[in-house]
Structure formats: structure tokens, C-alpha cells
Structure 1
Amino acid sequence: FGFRGEALSSISRVSRMKMTSKPPEKEVGTMLEILGGKIIEKKRVNSSNGTKIEIMDLFFNIPARRKFLKSDSAEGRYVTEIIEKFAFTNNINLTYIRDNKEIYKFSSDMDLITKCLKIYPELKRDDLIEIEYNDSVYKISGVISQPKVGRNNRTAQHFFVNNRYIKAASLYSVLEKGYGEMLEKSVHPYGIIFIEIPSNMVDVNVHPQKLEVKFTDEQKIASLLKKVVREVLKENTHFTMEFISSNDIPATNNENSSFSVQNLYSKNEDSQKVNFSQNTPKTDYFEHTDEFFNNSEIEDLQEGNIHFDNDNNYRLYEPSKTFDFKGFEYQKNQTFTPVEKINSFEKLSILGIVAERYLVVEGEDKLLLVDFHAAHERYIYEILKENLYEKGGLTSDLLLNPLKISLDEVRKGIILENKDHLEKLGIKLEEEGKEIIVKGLPSLVKIDDAERLIFEIADDLRISNFDQQSNILDKNLATMACRTAVKTKDNPTGMETLLNNIFEKKLLTCPHGRPIMIQITFKTLDKYFGRT
């Protein structure tokens, strides 16, 4: 690695340090023992080639600094993160032992993908793709994950410039832009990226820890990285990416432009009924709600003041007529807008589901589009929050077959540090070797969702070091609600009860701030069709 003299000197002044070193050409080595910056012993010792540095009792002579150290497990986790970066960048034999337990063992001939699988045990070899680019000036190499594999944050994205770890927000963004639309929203891919450039084209002296750098041509590096990622994904995935030029887009401002209208909803008695279920088995997401929450809230809601008129039989209408755009003028202010106020006594009729994720609802003077995932997510969040703060924690159901989960060392450390916190969320677990054994879950959480939920709670805790406990709990509840809520492409029932709850409590957004519903008034629709 090489050692920075000023760093070793600084550490030696605030710790007990022992250094043993032997060059290959010498028969014996030398050992120095240093206390608070003073050499208290120097002697010849039998030693293997290389240098060994032991640091003990950090800040023993500066109590004011020592009291600001975090718990042993938290400080150990920070060391683990540094060791992982060393492992990625150096082809050496490296063994990491913490609290007398071997955490990692890397050999000098281990390839990068194998290292990734050791550090991120949730991955499989097929989840990763190698990248490689080389010209006379730039070299880019490393591994990235398949588009379907990722985290809900960027903690598994690491960049190295000339083998030095850096933090570069712009490069994180460029990496993900390389995926384009292949990457799902809020999914951040894994990426271990090495960039090699001539030293005169990068300035490493812009940060005290050299974690930030400046490139002479950052735009060129960004363009190359994006291109490399995009091309390797084209070759290694089933996705295809086609780029449409302006010449490929038909003009719509021509007098003779026209469009065909099909699949409109109508009450035409001669047309076929629309079957929203499409013979798909229905899942009632409210069937066991009262068992989980153990309160009478659902019954109260079912006796609320909203009436849902589901007697209308809507038909499928397929006209052959073609409509002319001529004379039609689009008004920018005539559009769907977020709902900012709810009338809990409004009469509503559910017309159906579009795009496999939106309820179409007719109100007294408007048409509503409701994101049923966001609505269900907020519904669950409110009840979870009520139970957590009123009862001191969520109830947990013990699993007949405990679930084994493999986590990377950093996530595992976070989970074990916060066992009491997770028990408040109804998650009971224990450590067993290198795995976590989940023994209990809230009854709302499905076994299939448990692993991803625990990953995301660990990530929430990791990036919430400075939040108050209540804020962290709220974030975790929001994550739990998102994971357990009805998903896009599901075929839900119980939507009347859900809307009833949303309107009665006047809930407008999901826990993450996205709108639950948007609206367009019939008056605005009349303007579109020239009826006013």
C-alpha cells in the first residue's frame, strides 16, 4: 500500500502503537513500541518480510476525543468499509479479523467478481457483468450489475481513479444514465468502476482525505463511462435500446393529421362488458387486516359516509370513425392536477383500472385517477404508525421455519447494532455464523418480502446516523408499508374500503410524498370538447 508518514505520526500520538518491519534483504526485523508519540522500546526481532502495525487504546490520552467514539460495533463497521475498498483495489493476500472472528480472506489471484460475491453475498455470479474500455489516454474497467439487480441507495457503487477511492456524485449519476430506461425507478445498480488516466489530467489535492478529485476533462470521462455501460448492457441483457431521432417522429400540427379512437368506455347496451379481472385470481388485501391491527377501525370505516355506486355496467366500445385534429387547440392549463382538498362526503363511483396501477373514479364534479399502490401504502403506514407509538411496538408472529438471510458485513453489522430497534418493528432475529436468522415477522409481511425489507431497513439506518429515533422509525415504517402494499399489475379487491379510508382521513400523499390522486373537473373536460 505504502504508508503516509504524517498519518502514522499523528496516530502514534493518540494511541499505543507497535510497528514491526523487515525488508527481504535483512535477516531480522525491527520492532518499535510507541506510547503517545514517544518511542519507549526499539529492538531486533525475528519477523517475516513486510510491515505489521498494531494500534491499541485509541485516544487513551485525549478523553475529550475518546468520548465521541461510537460503539465498538459501529467503529468496527467503519473499519470494515475501509477494508472492503482495500480489497477491491489491491491484488494481495488480505485477511481481516475482527473480535477474533475472520470476516474476510482474499487471495492475491482473486478476480474482481469473486471479491464482489464475498463482500455482497446477496449477489450471484450471473448478476454481474464485467466492463472494459481502453484507448491511448483512458482506461475504464470493473463490474456492474444487471438492470434487475440493485439497492435502494448507492452504497454499493464505488469509483477508483488511478487505484485511489473517490466520492464523485457526478459519476454515480453517469453510471445510472448508462442504464437508461432499463433501470427501474429508485433502483441503484451495483458498480465497482476503475478509471485510469494520466496523472496530469486529474487533481487529487482538492480534499483533505483526497476523497474528491478534479478532472481536466470531466465531460469526456462521463461520456466514455456512459457509453461503456450502455454498450456492455446491450451485449449482456435481453433489453434493447433504440434511440429515436426527431425525423422518426410524425408531425402532429398538420391540418390533415388524424388519429383513431379505440377501446373507449361507454354504456352502449350492444357492446361487450369490460371484465377488469381478466380471469385473474383476486387477492383481497384487506382480508386479514383486522387480524393484524386488532382494532375496530375497519368496521367503522365501512360504515362511513361515502357511497360507492358499482351498479353501472361499463361496456367496451370500438368505433371505426376517425377524428380530425383540425381546429383543435390544446390549452396548457387544461390538465390533471394534484388533489389538494378532499370532501369526505363526496359520492364516488369506481369505473375501473387503467395501466394496471390507477383506479379511475368518478366524483360529483370531477374525474379522479388514484394510484392504488400509493393509497394502500399510506393506509398501511398510518395504521402501523398508530400501533407502534400507542402500543410501543408492532406485534410479531413467530415463524415455523426461520428464514436464513445472507447480508454483507456492513449491513449485518447495522442490523445487529439495532436489534432492539427491529424488535419494535416486529422483526425478531439472531446471528448465526455469517448469516442472520429471522425468527419473527409482523403478520402483514410476507416471507417472500422479508429479505428485501430487511436489506432496505438496514440501508435506511445506515444513512440516518444523525436522525432522531422517531424519524428513523417513521422511515422504516414507510419502507415496510411500501414493501407490503398492493403492487402494480396486481389485481386487487377491497378498493372501496381503501378509498373510504383515504377520503375519510383526507390523506393526499404516500409516506414518501408522492400524490395519491390527481383530478380533472368535468368543467375542464367540457372545455376540451368545446361544450362551453
Structure 2
Amino acid sequence: MNAIQPLPDLLISQIAAGEVVERPASALKELLENSLDAGATEVTVQLFQGGVKLVRVADNGAGISGEDLPLALARHATSKIRTLEDLQNVPSLGFRGEALASIASVSRLALVSRSAGDKHAWRIEAEAGRFTPPEPAAFAQGTAVEMRDLYFNTPARRKFLKTEATEFAHCESVFKRIALSRPSVGFTLQHNGTVRSHLRTADARLRIAAVLGDEFSQASVFVDDQAADLRLWGMAALPAYSRSSGDAQYFFVNGRFVRDKLVAHALREAYRDILHLDRHPAFVLFLEINGGGVDVNVHPSKTEVRFRDPRALHQFIFHTVDKALAMPHLTGGAAVPVAGKLPEFTRKAAGEVSLAPPAYSRQDAIPFASAAPQIKAAQPQAFYQVLFGSDSNAGTRQTGYQAGINGQSAFMKPEGTVREPEIPPLGFALAQLLGVYILSQNERGLLIVDMHAAHERILYEKLKSALDNHTLSMQPLLIPAAFRADSQDIATAEENSAVLHDIGFEISPFSPVMLAVRAVPAALKDADVVTLARDVLNEIREFGGSQVLVSRRNELLATMACHGAIRANRSLSIPEMNALLREMEITERSGQCNHGRPTWFEISRTDLDKMFMRGR
């Protein structure tokens, strides 16, 4: 017997399925792309049990004739390319001719289709690579593909699938990407018999708002530029809409959603000077490029591409987005073009994808209200009474430490005041500067304290200690804070309820598209609850619940502490400032915030004398 044997066709298809059909969402992507390539204007998706039990995609496209149905399920059979030249300039989303064959090898598949010239529809079924002969069926023009019981014949692969909620979240992400790429196509998504999304045909702006929400649309700028055979258009969010993860980043090349390191780097560079390193930009951008300038035949999933001139493309993307973000709206007062129409994909003959010209008008723009924050200084009456010699409380004078705590300066009292011999290391507060810094005086001189950075470190250390000692208390909210959430956040909250409870949160579904925060850590009760919950869920979703409590614990607690810390431009009283200084003195590593920045500087009396040339 020969050592080298040819593999059976079924095994070949199952091997290919390992690359093409990683999970139900992978199959859904292939089926949706086939519908768009067929020229469909209405697509309906039905899912059961997250797509594991059933994925059904029905469209009103061109359909498949009865004689072509067996070939549609054959390996490497396609109507989309004929020659190598076609492959190098492929205009369609699918072209390998292996998706349906791979899906049919690991599921129970049924395909019903009717082309324009047929009197009735035809149906074919496949199970584990075996096909039934086509037979007549009742169906309107178009195609419907049903994939049931994914991996029923490969149980080892089925074990790697996640929960129903997680698999549905992945399917919904694929649905959103496809829906964003084709605003001129109507889409409907059903899960377990319930309609989860219904998107009517619209222009690109309305489709983006429908998928990502009005908040994204209103906080974004219009991008549109062209150079040689390149064009980039779409919407890029302002830094105020930045995210803690890259879950709102959609980049399309000739209508195809892609993930590319070159593109990601160019966009990151465009946001570099206006976005904190820990935040991620949000955008929906479409790149038009000549088919010969990009190779989409890199990976079976077709989400990776290779560009012929990567350096020029990098510069084009960077300068286009950078220029859009550098408009006057970033400095306040200018109009933000969010109400104008974006270009739409339209389909020409032979499947060629092109774009209609944009119709943006400045008259449609919505101005942002941008008022500069007012800077206030804390000015306690008792402090100024002592400072300027008004001594109505002479009979009840206080000693140094007590005076500092109660809002009076221990170093500005009239003569005869008894001073406590021991002065705290960070001294006593004098005033608040620019809404950000605390000015304090100790025995050596003047201290300048960054109140947010200092408070952040204090909260961080308290959270670490409470978590280590299992004493992290929860603060129930009188009125739960409800917010809109995508399926992945809802699935994360449901699957990691124990982890959330361990770190002081109670987050539960409020509706199919909303979550409710019912309790938060007591130390963070004054934080922005919704933003805090979003960031915590993003950390858990990205790294997993077990990793968040082990290797990523400190990063998560630092995120929580940042949300709970005092914000800039909050006016503090002298007692509040002194209380913060006292907390710093008993907190470990209070000299630096969680990000490594200093929390305070000291200017000694000697340095002050040098500045003013005293003693010379």
C-alpha cells in the first residue's frame, strides 16, 4: 500500500471548512455575500440558537437555474471568475467557489432557488457532502439557503462553539458589517423567531446612524478625498466618542470589510495627537481603489488584503483623515457635517461596484455648542477672615492641624496663635488653581497637587486592597442606570455575572437591546455609571472573565479608579482638599498616578527665594 494517498472529496471539503466555517457567523458571512453578489435588494436572515441550530438567508436576487444547482454545491465551482485576469480584478465579494461546498460538508444544507427565466423554483439538499437530485419547489425569484445543525458530523469541532448568546453576538457583528457596506439593500435579522433588526434601504448616513446609533452620527465628521485612483469617504468620530476597545471600527475596500495592519496604523496615526493612547477611534470608512491595486485572494475568509503600493496608500489614508479631524470643529464653534448625504453604493452592469457622488451641503450641518469651562477657585470665608486678620472667633482658636482640617490656614494666623508642633508631610491646603491643582503649604515650602491623579491612585489602592481582602462593598442604585448595548455586551454581562459581582457590579439585561446597572462598587458611587459599566464590560469581553481577575486585574481596577476620581473643574472646599491630602499621606505609591504620572511637586522655600532673588 502506498504511503501517500489522495484524500477523499468529503475530507477535503471538511478541511476547507475549518478555514471557511469557523463558527455560524462565518457561514452567515459567506451566504450574505452570495446574496449581494446576486444583486439582491432585500435580504432576510433567520437564526436559531445563535446560528448553531439554523442559519437561513433568503434574498430576491438573480437566483440559480435548476441545472446549475448541483454545481453550486460542488467544490471550486463559481460563476464569478473565468480566467486569471478576472481573479486579479474581481468585483464580487465571493469568488473561490468553496463556501457552499464547505458548509454542506459540516451541516445539513438545503438550497431553494428560482431564476428569472424559470417557471418554478428548484430545491436541492445536502448532508455530509451527499446531494439529492434537484426537485421542483415553490419559491419566488431569488434564493434561500438553510444551514442546520452545524458540525453535527464533526463533534470535536462543535465542542469549541460558545454559548448561544456569544454565537449570536458574532452573527450580529457580521450582519452589521454587511448592512453598513450596502445601504441600498434592505436587511432583516431574526433570532429565535424575534425580529432583532430591520433596516430599510437608505442613504449611507442614515444606515450608519441606524446601525451605530445617532450618538456616533452626531459626534462624527464627514471624510471625502480623492487622489489618482484612490478615494476615501465615510464618517470618522471625534475624540469625544473614543472607545476603550476597537469595536466601532469599520473599514471597507471596494465594499468588502477588511482588517489590515497598514490601514489600522494609518488611522491610528491620524488620531495620534488628539486621542489618548489607551483609547480607540471609531469610524466607518470606505476605500475605493482600482481592482488591480489590491489583492483580495490572500485568505479564504477574505478579510485580509494586500495592497500593491502600501506606502502611498498609508499616506493617503493618514492625510485624508487627519485633514478631516483638523477642521475648526475640534477647536469649537464650527459646523459638523453630519446631516449631509454620504455616497451610496450602486450596482452597474456585470457586477461592477461604483459610488454615487456625494450631496453634502453646509446648510444641512449641525453646529456643536462649545462653551469653554469656567475655572473657579475655592474661596472659603473662614480662610480669608484669618488671612486678612478678621478674628471674630478669638475665644475659640484652633491649633495647627485642626485649623487645617476645618478650612483655616495654620500658617496665616495672627500673632499669638498656638501652632501644633508637628506638620503633616503634604501640609495644609491654601487654594485650588485652574480647577485642576491644589496649592498646599508645608514646613519646606509650596506643593502643587494634581487632584484627579492623586484621587485616582487613592481609589485604585483601595479597590486593590478591598478585592484582596474580599471586602469590596457594593452600592445598590436607587434607580438602575439603563443604557443601550450591543449583543456582545449583553452576552458578556450574562456569562460573567459572577465576575462582575466579585468586582462590585450588578449588571443585567433590561431588554433585548439594553442593560441595566443595578449596583456599583461603593467607592465609585459618584462615577459616571454608564461609561464605567461599558469600559468594564469591554475589558471582560476582550480578555475573558478569568483573565480579568488574574493577569488583567490591576488594569481593570485602574480603569474603574479613573472613572471614580475627582474630575477637573470641580470646585473643592478647603476641608475637602485637606481630606484628600491626608488620604494621600496614608496611601501607598501616592506619588504617582496609575499611569505613572506624578501626582504632586514641591517647590522649597529656597527655590522660591532664588526665583525672587531674595537674600542677594
Shared fold (TM-score, shorter chain, > 0.5): yes
| Contact 2:496–2:545 (CA under 8 A) maintained in structure 1 | no
| Contact 2:493–2:507 (CA under 8 A) maintained in structure 1 | no
The DSSP-based 3-state class of the residue aligned with 1:25 is coil
Q: Which moved more, 1:375-384 or 1:69-78?
A: 375-384
1:64-83 → structure 2 map (5 Å cutoff)? 64-83=156-175
Q: 1:36 aligns with which of 120, 128, 136?
A: 128
Q: In structure 1, what residue type is equivalent to 2:453?
A: A
1:482 and 2:562 correspond? yes
1:56 and 2:151 correspond? no
Q: Following TM superposition, by how much is the alpha carbon of 1:162 offset from its aligned partner in structure 2, in angstroms?
A: 1.5
Q: Which moved more, 1:34-43 or 1:64-73?
A: 34-43
Question: For residues 603 and 279 of structure 2, what CA distance do their matches in structure 1 show?
Answer: 35
Task: Give 2:192's aligned residue.
Answer: 99
| Contact 2:250–2:285 (CA under 8 A) maintained in structure 1 | yes
1:506 and 2:588 correspond? yes
1:426 and 2:505 correspond? yes
1:86 and 2:178 correspond? yes
Q: Following TM superposition, by how much is the alpha carbon of 1:490 offset from its aligned partner in structure 2, in angstroms?
A: 2.0
| Contact 1:376–1:498 (CA under 8 A) maintained in structure 2 | yes
Question: For residues 262 and 132 of structure 2, what CA distance do their matches in structure 1 show?
Answer: 48
Distance verdict in 2 for CA 1:354–1:447, change over 3 Å: closer
Deviations 1:395-449 (A, max 9, x none): 23242x3333122333333333333433442334332243223344445445771
Task: Give 1:21's aligned residue.
Answer: 113
1:188 and 2:280 correspond? yes
Q: In structure 2, what residue type is equivalent to 1:114?
A: L
Task: Give 1:357's aligned residue.
Answer: 436
1:139-158 → structure 2 map (5 Å cutoff)? 139-158=231-250
Higher helix share: 2
The DSSP-based 3-state class of the residue aligned with 2:215 is coil
Q: Following TM superposition, by how much is the alpha carbon of 1:122 offset from its aligned partner in structure 2, in angstroms?
A: 6.3
Q: 1:372 aligns with which of 451, 475, 498?
A: 451
- TM-score (normalizing by structure 2): 0.62
Q: Following TM superposition, by how much is the alpha carbon of 1:36 offset from its aligned partner in structure 2, in angstroms?
A: 1.7
Q: Following TM superposition, by how much is the alpha carbon of 1:111 offset from its aligned partner in structure 2, in angstroms?
A: 2.1
Q: Following TM superposition, by how much is the alpha carbon of 1:137 offset from its aligned partner in structure 2, in angstroms?
A: 0.9
Q: Which moved more, 1:348-357 or 1:478-487?
A: 348-357
Q: In structure 2, what residue type is equivalent to 1:513?
A: H
Task: Give 2:410's aligned residue.
Answer: 311
| Contact 1:16–1:34 (CA under 8 A) maintained in structure 2 | yes
Q: 2:528 aligns with which of 449, 457, 476?
A: 449
Task: Give 2:218's aligned residue.
Answer: 126
| Contact 1:34–1:41 (CA under 8 A) maintained in structure 2 | no
Distance verdict in 2 for CA 1:525–1:36, change over 3 Å: farther
Distance verdict in 2 for CA 1:365–1:440, change over 3 Å: closer
Task: Give 1:168's aligned residue.
Answer: 260
Task: Give 1:515's aligned residue.
Answer: 597
- TM-score (normalizing by structure 1): 0.71
Question: For residues 271 and 498 of structure 2, what CA distance do their matches in structure 1 show?
Answer: 38
Deviations 1:146-198 (A, max 9, x none): 34322223221111111121113443343354456555664433211111111
Q: In structure 1, what residue type is equivalent to 2:541?
A: R
The DSSP-based 3-state class of the residue aligned with 2:469 is helix
1:224-373 → structure 2 map (5 Å cutoff)? 224-233=316-325, 237=329, 239=331, 276-277=377-378, 310-313=409-412, 346=425, 348=427, 350=429, 353-354=432-433, 356-359=435-438, 369-373=448-452
The DSSP-based 3-state class of the residue aligned with 1:463 is helix
Question: For residues 58 and 497 of structure 1, what CA distance do their matches in structure 2 show?
Answer: 61
Structure 1: segments with no counterpart, 5+ residues: 242-274, 281-301, 315-343
| Contact 2:505–2:518 (CA under 8 A) maintained in structure 1 | no
Q: Following TM superposition, by how much is the alpha carbon of 1:215 offset from its aligned partner in structure 2, in angstroms?
A: 2.4
Give the alignment's Cα RMSD to 1 decimal.
3.9
Q: Which moved more, 1:82-91 or 1:140-149?
A: 140-149
- Give the fraction of aligned pairs with identical amino acids, expressed as a percent: 25
The DSSP-based 3-state class of the residue aligned with 2:153 is coil
- For these two proteins, the number of residue pairs brought into alignment is 444
Q: Following TM superposition, by how much is the alpha carbon of 1:352 offset from its aligned partner in structure 2, in angstroms?
A: 5.1
| Contact 2:426–2:585 (CA under 8 A) maintained in structure 1 | no
Q: In structure 1, what residue type is equivalent to 2:411?
A: N
Task: Give 2:396's aligned residue.
Answer: none
The DSSP-based 3-state class of the residue aligned with 1:396 is strand
Q: In structure 2, what residue type is equivalent to 1:462?
A: R
| Contact 1:174–1:222 (CA under 8 A) maintained in structure 2 | yes
Q: In structure 2, what residue type is equivalent to 1:435?
A: M
| Contact 2:432–2:572 (CA under 8 A) maintained in structure 1 | no
Question: For residues 219 and 355 of structure 1, what CA distance do their matches in structure 2 show?
Answer: 44
Task: Give 1:464's aligned residue.
Answer: 543
Q: In structure 2, what residue type is equivalent to 1:486?
A: I
The DSSP-based 3-state class of the residue aligned with 1:492 is coil
Q: Following TM superposition, by how much is the alpha carbon of 1:221 offset from its aligned partner in structure 2, in angstroms?
A: 2.6
Question: For residues 507 and 245 of structure 2, what CA distance do their matches in structure 1 show?
Answer: 24
Q: Following TM superposition, by how much is the alpha carbon of 1:135 offset from its aligned partner in structure 2, in angstroms?
A: 4.4
Distance verdict in 2 for CA 1:162–1:310, change over 3 Å: same
| Contact 2:426–2:440 (CA under 8 A) maintained in structure 1 | no
The DSSP-based 3-state class of the residue aligned with 1:468 is helix
Q: In structure 2, what residue type is equivalent to 1:190?
A: A
Task: Give 1:336's aligned residue.
Answer: none
Task: Give 1:492's aligned residue.
Answer: 572
| Contact 2:505–2:517 (CA under 8 A) maintained in structure 1 | no
| Contact 1:407–1:436 (CA under 8 A) maintained in structure 2 | yes
Distance verdict in 2 for CA 1:182–1:473, change over 3 Å: closer
Question: For residues 121 and 100 of structure 1, what CA distance do their matches in structure 2 show?
Answer: 24
Distance verdict in 2 for CA 1:462–1:159, change over 3 Å: same
Structure 2: segments with no counterpart, 5+ residues: 1-32, 35-93, 334-375, 382-400, 414-422
Question: For residues 152 and 463 of structure 2, what CA distance do their matches in structure 1 show?
Answer: 45
